Chain A
Amino acid sequence: MTGKEEARNTRTIAVDLVARVEGEGALRVTVKDGTVQDVELRIFEPPRFFEAFLQGRHYSEVPDIVARICGICPVAYQMSAVHAIEQVFGLHVDGALRDLRRLLYCGEWIESHALHVYLLQAPDFLGYDSGIAMAKDHPAVVTRGLRLKKAGNAIMTLLGGRSVHPVSVKVGGFSRVPLRSELNGLKEELLWARDAAIETVRWVADFDYPDFMPDYTYVALHHPDEYPFNEGQVAVSNGLQISTTEFEQHFVEHQVSYSTALHCTLQGTSYLVGPLARLNSNQDHLTPLVQQVLADTRTVMPLRNPFHGIIARSVEILYALEESLRLIDRYEPPPVSALPVVVRSGTGMACTEAPRGILYHRYQVDGDGVIREAKIVPPTSQNQSRIEQDLRLFLPRLLQLPDQEVALACERVIRCYDPCISCATHFLNLEITREGVA
């Protein structure tokens, strides 16, 4: 795992696999004379070529296919896909069908965030290797987290048939919509979960956080009336606000030799997407209860520390539960489960807010409804450059530590982003090369 190349007076530290992230990646750090020279987040996840084999498939198959890009956030892929294709067909899904999409998305945020907060990131703050190990000393806490996660899964299972790769999402709406009584059946558990989410925010707000505040450019959707899920303008913290159709004019993907995931940058610079960016850009749409819990825990906005991502996720779990209860209370079954589709050729683009941040899709569809071209920009591709940048900034304070501790600390920084390497393609394997005097 660790080695020293005497001849070149270099020192190499490697961790083979960074744990508790979705997928597999590596990190290579070069240190020369005590200064960080280079940081490369290397993603070795074998590419699966979704954008290529989507060509030639019928538009109606796209939600089932793109869900398979990520088992953790399949709804996000389905949502960006149906919105982009609906743009081609000039279809606008509104009313109860729009609410149900939002509710399904709430379920995914709750499930995905609870997984990350309790099983993936909290063990770093409490000193455990896993949530399962943490359960031995903190059974009540871990049980609360698992039940919270289950509440998110319950929403997805009711609306989608199952929580991983739900089956009901289609262009125009759903294959089936729930009865009022079915949705009401969720309420008791969601009310419990709302209290558990308040406890979660309080719990994580008390963790010890390193003092670290990089100067971020945040990017998140912004909607005039609501906290963003399915719709909104792409808002950058520097003031730029664009329509999702202009995304590719500003955000450019490029490839680096050491990764199978493309890097996406904004005018050549790195930026941050995800819960921190979303929360900071959309504070005005939080509910009074969320505002109150933020005040009670003395959480000062905007959050600028990447380690506070766990707070942002917990706050979003609470928001998503409140929003779910609101949507359920006002639900009246729509007259049809899906709007009729009239196929026409064209190109459509959409961004929605996946649990880990903005997810962009573009499809070119021909007159038979067959996909001619597809482009997908997942959140982790967008955060990759920013993760590397943060490691560059965080590493100097670690360099006096032994190699293994540096490696563990770097892993913790990487986990702050909840990177989904399956999405970005996948393999975290840390390698640090030290040259000259450490």
Chain B
Amino acid sequence: MSNPELRQRPRLAVIKFASCDGCQLSILNLEEDLLALGQALDIAYFPEASSDMRAGPYDIALVEGSITTAEDAHRILSVRQQTKVLITIGACATAGGIQALRNWGDIEAYKQAVYPRPDYIQSLSTSTPISEHVHVDFELWGCPIEKGQLLRVITDLVGGVQLRLPADSVCLECKRRGNVCVVVAKGMPCLGPVTRTGCGAICPAMGRDCYGCFGPSEGARKGPGLPPNTTSLAKHFHDELQLIPVEVLRRFRGINGAVDPFRNESTVWENKG
């Protein structure tokens, strides 16, 4: 793709499900690279940015948001059918997102808490990641995604390079950045040891504990690595940092709370509560 004139530019679609639009904004935040992206790719469908909305098929679809309605569960099947390479962007599409907290609640009670006429509202009782519905070719973690990672994935894809991103824990990045460890120095219940790298270790750099917005580190869900040791970290939170069980539960049941091993860990502490 060194000369886009030589072959047809790949057709890109950006598609939204239940989400906050922050990952789509991360695309627009590419700023000067956004214009280059517009030249390298044919942006065929990106309603948030363009009125020029063309039907599929698409070479690449970036999918934001989780599946929370019957209609959306149907729509993602059609997106998959029309797409060669489907990439999820962000915690909602990859893990169900913060709205997956409903998975532990009573959806009818939720509707009643928010709406005076709950009978008007159509909603599934769960918020689920895209991969529970269709095959996903690559997942970009993060709430929001990191725009450098997005750019790298698109560049690699267009260049025919196999997609790969580092998946070890935030701790390595945090050490390289020269941060003082907030667990050791401040006794904060930091999720960095079990959270996927990619954000730049910004929470410890800003003097606070990581809250897991990039999801579990490598091997947690699939692939060759081992899942991160959430059991040991949770025990440390409880035994050493004096968190009560419900506080340990809340640490793991957050933005990526619906994926294992975070999901399992919060369940363990629910039973201790």
**Are B21 and A70 within 8 A (Cβ)?**
yes
For A421, give the chain B residue with the smallest CB separation: B21
**Are A129 and B21 within 8 A (Cβ)?**
no
A197 to chain B, nearest CB (A): 17
**Are B116 and A254 within 8 A (Cβ)?**
yes
Is the CB of B136 closer than 8 A to any CB of chain A? no
**Contact count band on B:** 35 or more
**Are B26 and A58 within 8 A (Cβ)?**
no
Is the CB of B23 closer than 8 A to any CB of chain A? yes
How many pairs of A and B residues are in contact by the CB < 8 Å rule?
A: 193
**Are A165 and B207 within 8 A (Cβ)?**
no
Is the CB of A52 closer than 8 A to any CB of chain B? yes
Question: Contacts A61-B250, A133-B52 hold; do A68 and B203 have CB atoms under 8 A apart?
Answer: no
Is the CB of B18 closer than 8 A to any CB of chain A? yes
Is the CB of A146 closer than 8 A to any CB of chain B? yes
**Are A255 and B205 within 8 A (Cβ)?**
no
Is the CB of B220 closer than 8 A to any CB of chain A? no
Is the CB of A46 closer than 8 A to any CB of chain B? yes
Question: Contacts A52-B110, A119-B49, A129-B50 hold; do A167 and B120 have CB atoms under 8 A apart?
Answer: no
Is the CB of A180 closer than 8 A to any CB of chain B? no
**Are A175 and B53 within 8 A (Cβ)?**
no
Interface stretch (choices A85-93, A147-155, A285-293):
A147-155
Residues of B111-127 contacting chain A, CB below 8 A: 111, 113-117, 120-121, 123, 127
Cα distance A68–B213 in the bound complex, in angstroms:
11
Residues in chain B near residue A161, CB distance under 8 A: 202-203, 205-206
**Are A175 and B22 within 8 A (Cβ)?**
no
**Contact count band on A:** 35 or more
**Are B47 and A132 within 8 A (Cβ)?**
no
| Among B18, B22, B31, B207, contact of A147 (Cβ-Cβ < 8 Å) | B31
B28 to chain A, nearest CB (A): 6
Residues in chain B near residue A119, CB distance under 8 A: 28, 49
8 contacts between A and B (CB under 8 A): A19-B48, A48-B98, A53-B110, A71-B24, A72-B25, A146-B34, A162-B144, A257-B117
| Interface residues in chain B, defined as those with a beta carbon under 8 Å from any beta carbon in chain A | 16-26, 28-29, 31-32, 34-35, 38, 43, 46-53, 68-69, 72, 97-99, 101-102, 105, 107, 109-111, 113-117, 120-121, 123, 127, 143-144, 199-200, 202-203, 205-208, 211, 213, 247, 250, 254-255
5 more A-B contacts (CB under 8 A) besides A71-B22, A129-B52?
A: A47-B121, A48-B18, A52-B114, A71-B21, A71-B23
